[in-house]
Amino acid sequence: MTALTQFDRLEAPGLWRASPEAQRQNVVVSIGDATLTVTDTSERPLSHWSLPALVRLNPGKLPALYAPTAEGDAGETLEIDDRDMIAAIEKLRAAIERGRPRSGRLRLVVTLGMVALMGTLALTWLPDALVRQTVSVLPEVTRSAVGQKLLVRVRRVAGAPCAAPAGRAAMTKLARRVLGTDAGRVVVLSAGVTHADHLPGGIILINRALVEDYEEPDVAAGFILAEDLRARRNDPMLALLEHAGTLATAKLLTTGKIAEEVLDSYAEVLLTTAPEPLPDEALLARFSEAGLRSTPYAFALDQTGETVLGLIEADPVPVSAAEPLLPDADWISLQGICTG
């Protein structure tokens, strides 16, 4: 969007209403390359608008009132009184309007040309290339939004995540101890996953047994670290889009949205597919980097130790040098995360 080259990323407060019946909500509005994103005060995405489709409902008046499309998109609106943000949006809308073809014949020619181009690409461009291109350019806000939508579908099978406040706070501490300050969200489920799994947007799922059936947090920590390693080795968005197919991938690339039925289908696949095996060398390197014992994780995978002997014999942290991952009070809170 060359019309806004002076704005790398512009943010401002606003009032967002999901529908005419909904209450207005304080939000943060940000402009990216081609999208307008609405997030709540906790930075959770609420809506994702295409800037070329944006419509102002009250031209010349303040505060400015916008809708995502000319049709109003079921009454969704956004109210902004920040003059810099309004000026940026209006400048972009004016640039888009100037670029629209004025002649019906020209519009037809352009449309036919685009159809012909899309047809050629559909026949000559490998779907795999489209998937990888889409994954490489997806912003984090889109990944987070997709991950949250997938989590909603996982909940239909697994039930509501365990959410005792003290337990959630303890899980946040454990995740940061294992993965550092940029750790994503770790969700404890009562069912649905055997041990652990992961979603786009940095979401890691673990079964409640990993915190309830063991005497130390090292087991849960090991599975969190392993899932983070899987997500780093193979982008979870790549697996989703390979399942979704070319049309769904193209829609996500152009609109930032993915069909609900695609997410429903992928959630079923996700919960019924065995996790990708991880090589001992890669696992041990991550355990060493995090200063974690690999032995508790290994025995949780195989109580006999026969198939995980490499993780046991090459444990990077001896028992004598190991330090508690959580204070006792936090560990007790974490063990009760599903009962609070």
Mean pLDDT of 195-201: 93
Count of the separate structural domains present in the chain: 3
Residue 118 sits in which domain range?
104-137
In a domain, 130, yes or no: yes
**What is the percent of the chain with per-residue pLDDT over 90, rounded to a whole number?**
43
Which of 50-54, 128-132, 223-227, 235-239 has the highest mean predicted lDDT (pLDDT)?
223-227
pLDDT value at 222 more than 60? yes
What was the pLDDT predicted at 68?
86
Least confident range of 102-106, 148-152, 193-197, 267-271? 102-106
The H or E element containing residue 65 is: strand 64-67
Are 71 and 11 members of one domain?
Answer: yes
What was the pLDDT predicted at 1?
45
Mean pLDDT of 240-244: 88
Are 163 and 81 members of one domain?
Answer: no
Q: Give yes or no for a contact between 13 and 27, defined as CB atoms under 8 angstroms apart.
A: yes
For residue 57, give the CATH number of its domain: 2.30.29.30
pLDDT tier at 42 (50, 70, 90 boundaries)?
A: confident
Least confident range of 52-56, 182-186, 225-229, 258-262? 52-56
What was the pLDDT predicted at 2?
47
C-alpha R_g of the chain: 24
CA distance 19 to 73: 9
Would you call 27 helix, strand, or coil by DSSP?
A: strand
With a CB cutoff of 8 Å and minimum separation 6, the contacts of 106 are none
Please return the burial class of 143, using the count of CB atoms within 10 Å of its CB with bins 0-12, 13-18 and 19+: buried
What was the pLDDT predicted at 106?
61
Are 47 and 25 members of one domain?
Answer: yes
Encode pLDDT of 252-299 as tens digits.
Answer: 888 888 888 999 999 988 888 888 999 999 999 999 999 999 999 999
Which one has a higher pLDDT value, 205 or 157? 205
Are 53 and 108 members of one domain?
Answer: no
pLDDT value at 92 more than 60? yes
- The structure's pTM equals 0.63
Which one has a higher pLDDT value, 118 or 5? 118
Are 245 and 317 members of one domain?
Answer: yes
What was the pLDDT predicted at 128?
76
Helix ranges (DSSP H) in the chain: 83-99, 104-124, 127-137, 140-158, 165-179, 209-212, 218-233, 236-244, 246-255, 260-272, 280-290, 295-301, 309-313, 328-335
Q: Give yes or no for a contact between 223 and 178, defined as CB atoms under 8 angstroms apart.
A: no
Are 153 and 271 members of one domain?
Answer: yes
What was the pLDDT predicted at 11?
85
Q: Give yes or no for a contact between 218 and 247, defined as CB atoms under 8 angstroms apart.
A: no
Are 87 and 203 members of one domain?
Answer: no
In a domain, 340, yes or no: no
CA distance 271 to 199: 11
Are 93 and 127 members of one domain?
Answer: no
CA distance 205 to 271: 11
For residue 240, count other CB atoms closer than 10 A to its CB: 27
Q: Tell me the CA distances in angstroms from 7 to 89, 92, 213, 267, 329, one per residue in order.
A: 11, 11, 52, 38, 47
Are 243 and 152 members of one domain?
Answer: yes
CA distance 309 to 103: 72
With a CB cutoff of 8 Å and minimum separation 6, the contacts of 19 are 74, 75, 76
Are 111 and 245 members of one domain?
Answer: no
